[in-house]
Structure 1
Amino acid sequence: MKRLRQIPALLQTIESSQGKFDVLIKNITMHAYIPESYGASFVRYIQRIVDMCPRVSKFAFASQCQLPPTARLPILKPSITHLQLHAAIPPAEIIDLLKIAGENLMWLLIYVPSSYQTWDVSKVCHLPNLTDLLIETTPLGNNHLTPFAQILSMPSLRRLTFKVDHFAQPGFELLDMENFTSFCRIHGHYLQFLHLQPNFSWTMRRYTASLQRLLDTCPIVDHLVLHPCAEPVAHSNVKWIDIWSPHPAAAESWDLLRQSLNKTAFPKLQRVRELSSGLALFFDVPTLIDAIDRQEDAFELAFHGIKVRHDVGFVQGQRHIDVDSIYGPGGEADDDNSSDFSFSSDESRDSEHSSRTNSVYSLRDLCHGTSDVDNYSSWESD
């Protein structure tokens, strides 16, 4: 639901169908902006929709705007297995949602913004069946990863994605990965898949990320997806490496990283694949697009303004809004005084950047027509 008027319209359709339509609904995704004046109505309508749909297993609040004080998310059914919370939901509300849906939850996407001051670490959320976790942060929100890790119990966690976001400023060219490492020190022992997803290209050119200590906390990971700004690393168990392609201005350091992905650093390595930065908007590219080993198996896809070609060792992607073509070498964003790198304060910088770029989307949902990426891309070009 991308428009406010769709919420009461859906409820009216369900109520008038006399039990014929509600059983067909398995996925509820909210993209709409909820104004403060509509908060109470939103709570009433969305709770009624959730209560009337017995087969709902996925709930996503994917709006990039915070809920107003007059609104809250619905009380979810224990049948929920997939939960996405993109926007800045208050910590207490997140904990309440996880306590209700936690028993059967298998897949979780959560956003950790900079505005969270404290987490109540005495309230541990047990998620016994959670296998997949995706975490979005802002540059300042990275500081809250450690307390967030302390409130979660995830014994079945096998796949973890970090949306890595950082502002490169003079004197801050190295991204501090300690908070990410602390998270994996608690939850990385049984990870098999680790993805360090980059943000858009204009934040990827002026910093490096040291990942070795983080990898050391994940002893059995076998599929690693590397951020293009990573320093060379090594691991004894990794068999498959995907690496996101770099911004052109960072190509030299990326070449050193790419050359280091060999049997010396990764004794069990079987496959290395490059992923086009044009697809970095989508968190599920590494798992959704299977690798190929023969050129005769190469294929192309085209949908919703996105073109994908998979050759041996390389997944190429193009969107009708391509940040590399806009902010290439020598372009506007290469200027040290450009707006992307000059902000009045950390808080305003964090807030502005997260509202523009800190969003992840599912390639699978886009194929099914449920992603909001088309609206986002059009807005991005304004």
Structure 2
Amino acid sequence: MTEGPMNIIARASGAAGKSDGEPLKFIHCSDLHLDSSLETKLSGEDARRRRYEIVRAFERIVRRAEEQHVTGIIIAGDMFDADIVTARTRETVLDIIRRTPAIDYLYLSGNHDSAERVFPLQGLPENLLTFRSHWQTYRYGNIDITGVEPDPQSSSNCFDTLSLDPNHVNIVMLHGQLSSQAGPDLIPLPALQHKGIDYLALGHLHSYRHGVLDERGIYCYCGCPEGRGFDECGEKGFVLLSVLGNHLEHTFVPHAQRMLFRIPTDIADCRTFPEILHKLRDTAAGIPPESLVRFILTGACAPDAQLDLPALEQEFASLFFYAEIRDETSVSIDPATFLGDISLKGEFIRKVLASKLPERDKNAVIRAGLQALGGEEITL
């Protein structure tokens, strides 16, 4: 076929052999960010293990695809975290694709990665299907999967040139942030309405969300399959698409091996170390031990509250794959209490409160000073 604005490539392998009444299935995933540096403060060994688990998340998706007899896996961008990846990761991905020739891999580059720069120019598996800077369609019977990688250097708006067969089920792949207008990494939603899209398969946002595109179709961010940092908390996974005739259904499938949790915990009513520890254990009840957890301590605490963060982290180190404690408490001090206090403690607190330090620094200085005055180990 000649290439043009709407190059259509027929793919018989996925549609062949499906009996009447049996749907074709596709998996929509994105934002694996393979080979990324992790944003949590894991030890070197745990960081390597976590990076390996994220690579294996792709293999587990493929295993689910085989179990579900999926025709194709739609990868809507940012499969890799950068254009330069380790040879081990690249060859692992290619090996997985080569070992599953019955599944097509429709790979659209994102703002972090590029198929042309990640993979060698020659010898790619036939079932690894990529996209270019003009619209390209892969056809499976009456199902068209169409995508484009907009050229950021081009002044033309490729979204206006999208033309789909209204009699087919149309899945359109894009990577970027939905917007009212076009721009770098922006997807102009109004330009895609009333085009005959049934399912707009998006990548870029790392949490699952979907909404109405127009009277015919929906848009959907599948999110990332594994969270990497505490800005990626909650359930992660992929979307399973099922197409029977002209009817398309989508289902979010939780898939993450480990989940991340941010747990705000008000400890204003706690003063001793055991009281704080028990409060944290209560708030963490029910969280799976394989999780990564960040406790965020909040509340106005007594100045001598026993906030020993390293000791608290050590208590939870054996309960979760990773745990850290963030202190966002304030110090509850009534200055009038110390007006007539002639002790060293009173003089110290008055001087700190009268200083020009930012309020958060005053809290830290008061707490550390009281620990020193009490003969305790200072924790900052």
Place the TM-score, normalised by the shorter chain, in its bin. under 0.3
Whichever structure has more helix as a proportion of its residues is 1
- Find the structure with the greater CA-based Rg: 2
- TM-score norm. by structure 2 comes to 0.27
The structure with higher relative contact order (CA 8 Å, sep 6+) is 2
- TM-score norm. by structure 1 comes to 0.27
